[in-house]
Structure 1
Amino acid sequence: MHDPNGGSAENRVPQSGIPASGADASAVGMARFVRDKRGSTAIEYALIGSLIFLVAAGSIRVYVNRMGGVYNQISTAVGQGN
């Protein structure tokens, strides 16, 4: 029978929170975390979002570096016109 949690029946952690067969509680928690697939989509979206943010921030920085001189020239020309 298919287990919706991604593990087989013999690898399941007891729901009582008591580690099975004297295993360390942190090891049981880590095993549960490794088997859990529910957050993978959220992590993928977070990685894609961070990549988009980095590209946008880099593009803005390049734009500011290249256009800073142009804006200074415009500012100077407008200031001399007054």
Structure 2
Amino acid sequence: MPLLTGKVISQNGLGLMRMTWRGEQTPDSIAFPVLKTALAAGVNVWNGADFYGSAENNSLHLLARYFAEYPEDAEKVVLCIKSGFVDR
């Protein structure tokens, strides 16, 4: 497996967009087991963004809730976070 700053990373990643993007959001009771299963399968590169959902509940909020519940997983995951800005 490849290394990134000395940490083994998976060749495939898990995108979080569909869990928080549009319409009805995936409840934590469903999202958390998906994240746990991905990590157990060796998928430790997770992708999120501040625009994957609303300002009040996007994939970054989901990650914060997940790591608050499972702090032991924080050191196992490599986050790939996208962001952007709007010039108004």
TM-score higher than 0.5: no
**TM-score, with normalisation over the residues of structure 2?**
0.21
- Higher helix proportion, which one? 1
**TM-score, with normalisation over the residues of structure 1?**
0.22
